Structure 1
């Protein structure tokens, strides 16, 4: 009888355990809706399981269901008010709602700041929270507490934890504050210190925003020397096509990108063909421009910018 009872209880015990591996598998495949179903079913049996709740909040966040994510993260904060990550995620969900709704933005400013500041106090090594505070203080108007000096203070805290993050944060602050020389200096420091693709991308984007395409291309070439990724060929071609510079180099890079293309490169081939069409448009080569824009449209027929560019080519 005792053994029978154990057999009967076993399925219930197994059901109550959260299968982390299956949830991780769904997240890795970006099947967040499937993970959501499993998590909801589990929480019917174990309503305050913090691990399951956090996974569910993350599933909502990845699906950009920010109101649902906020509800879950808020519950986690109530269940465990000393967990820095819960406060950080709660503040982040409020921030995303605020970005989508200006009326709610005003109402949420105080709660967003409180959530991030609480997370920072609870965990002196929480890098993401300090990044969030840097961005928050730079983007908030002064009337709501925005302050570049406060942003720099958290950038200094980041630098103490990670030099690369600190340099990138300072580059961001100075760029936002319209101090391009200092921004460039710190983005370059980040490349020297860390040298990751992210560091190179930040400097490239800065150069593009600053209307310095020649520097952007040189930076992308340096990035390719350290990180020989095919995607960088597209980036060089894109800058060339957008700014009508180094057209031969841009055309060569785009053709290399198309030749070596794989899904891991991220940008569909249609966009590379569109950039080639732009380059030939700049060269006044109508026939080649039409060839490449037709290829782009054939692959992605719903992209309006392709159709508009075709009309411009036909006017050559």
Structure 2
């Protein structure tokens, strides 16, 4: 009994250890507030545990509490300035804060850039820090430090670490810099080198942005030949419906998507029915268009774009 009473007199933190697996599971299940509460209590009683502090910063980040995330990561940077990942996360939190308030963004730019550059210098293999620098130099106006030349420098460093990342970065830079032929070239090289769904998706979106829906559809078909994902049937139907091209192919793909649908496909069947309604609207087939827009609304009755489309169909 005395032993039990003595235990109660000591702070719980002396005996408790941070359970990273538990926190990771909470993050995976998007229980960020619960993770935050556990971590705040732990850090309060273990203020020198850097792993717990970093996880707390992550919890804030997942909840888009950027001020709290910045202050938490800053603690890590102050204690261990030569840890690349601390610098990267600190810069990233400041970057997200800057995106929220573009009027105040200028005051963050110097610190954001310094943190990312420091992370890249500390870790010669830090791919994410280099990607962050590519995006930063591309998106910043030249008057406050933007530079295509510097963006390409970090893209070149990425290519040395990972050819796929390097090609994707160059495609992104040239797309932003209005050099479509070069952008297409590097996106295609990324597909040839890696061939992941991400690579195919980058080229598809590029074709959509440059108003080349037929090429977008061909690219999605190539992706499907390699990866055999039902979700790609929806993507073909979506492009066909939005751009009023290859309607027969789009209709067929959307019906296949609905027939083979599973939760893993991601996009709800309601959206596939909405795309079918778009296709039948283009075909002036009011009966089929109404049938599918009603199916979409039955599943997701609050989606405004569905309601707007139904009104247009009724006016045919």
Judge conservation of contact 1:208–1:216 (CA < 8 Å) in 2.
Answer: yes
- Aligned partner of 1:138 in structure 2 is 138
**Alignment deviations for residues 54-86 of structure 1 (CA, whole Å, 9 cap, x no partner):** 111111111222122111111111121011111
Alpha-carbon distance change, 3 to 67 in structure 1, aligned in 2, over 3 angstroms:
closer
For residues 71 and 301 of structure 2, the distance between their equivalents in structure 1, rounded to whole angstroms, comes to 39
1:117 offset after TM fit, Å? 0.8
Aligned 8 A contact 1:237 1:254 in 2: yes
- Taking structure 1 as the reference length, the TM-score comes to 0.95
User: Partner of 2:183 in structure 1?
Assistant: 183
Contact 1:16/1:46, CA 8 A, preserved across alignment: no
CA deviation after TM superposition for structure 1 residue 48, in Å = 2.6
Provide closer, same or farther for how the CA distance between residues 227 and 14 of structure 1 changes in structure 2, counting only shifts above 3 A: farther
1:1-316 to 2 correspondences below 5 Å: 12=12, 15-316=15-316
How far is 1:38 from its partner?
1.2
Which residues of structure 1 form unaligned runs of 5+? none
- Tell whether the 8 Å contact from 2:13 to 2:45 is kept in structure 1 after alignment: no
| Alignment RMSD | 1.9
Q: Compute the displacement of 1:198 (Å).
A: 0.4
Measured in 1, the distance between the counterparts of 2:286 and 2:14 equals 67
Instruction: Measure how far apart 1:109 and its partner are.
Output: 0.8
The normalised TM-score by structure 2 is 0.95
Q: 1:10: how far off?
A: 10
Cα distance in structure 1, aligned partners of 2:264 and 2:9: 46
TM-fit CA distance, 1:15: 4.0
1:72-124: per-residue Cα shift (whole Å, max 9, x none)? 11111112101111111111111111111012201111111111111111111
Q: Measure, in 1, the Cα distance between the counterparts of 2:48 and 2:290.
A: 60
Tell me if the contact between 1:77 and 1:83 (Cα under 8 Å) persists in the aligned partners: yes
